[in-house]
Amino acid sequence: MASVSGSIEGYLIKLEQDSGEIVYCILEEGNLVYYSGKGGDCLGQLTLTGHRINVNLIRDDRDSVPNRFIVSSRPPKKDEMENRLLFSASTPECQENWATAILNWNKHCWDDSETVFSYKDELEALKRIVNKYNLKQSVVIHPIG
């Protein structure tokens, strides 16, 4: 990663059907990249540059993981598929901060790096959410080489 431009980073839960995994996300240089942990393996990325970006906050209900939001990235060609990622933040404030940062990612390119969290122990808060909602851990397959 380049140290010239700013980035926004922090922990989120990446959700899929009935599983969830705590990931470390870095929003930098037109990409939202998520890792197995801070300094961990890259698990994937969502391209923002040149794409139509949308972020939808999902209203909480008593039975679902709280503070969810969907990030979608649609390429300029209409025949290409939209990519979507579903995340959960530790608090509504953190959810709102991530949504705003992603929608305005290009305004942050030249800022200093910033960590998005709502209180001191973000990782522990997300672990409690994973346990409370009995989320199965996603199986991560790492490429060889």
* pLDDT tens figures, 66-116: 999 999 999 988 778 899 999 999 999 999 999 999 998 877 554 555 565
pLDDT at position 4 over 50: no
- Global pTM reads 0.81
Q: Please state the rounded mean pLDDT for residues 62-69.
A: 93
Identify the structural domains of the chain with CATH numbers, from first to last: 8-132 (2.30.29.30)
pLDDT confidence of residue 53: 95
Where does residue 41 rank: exposed (0-12), middle (13-18), buried (19+ CB within 10 A)?
Answer: exposed
- Whole-number Å distance between alpha carbons of 22 and 14: 6
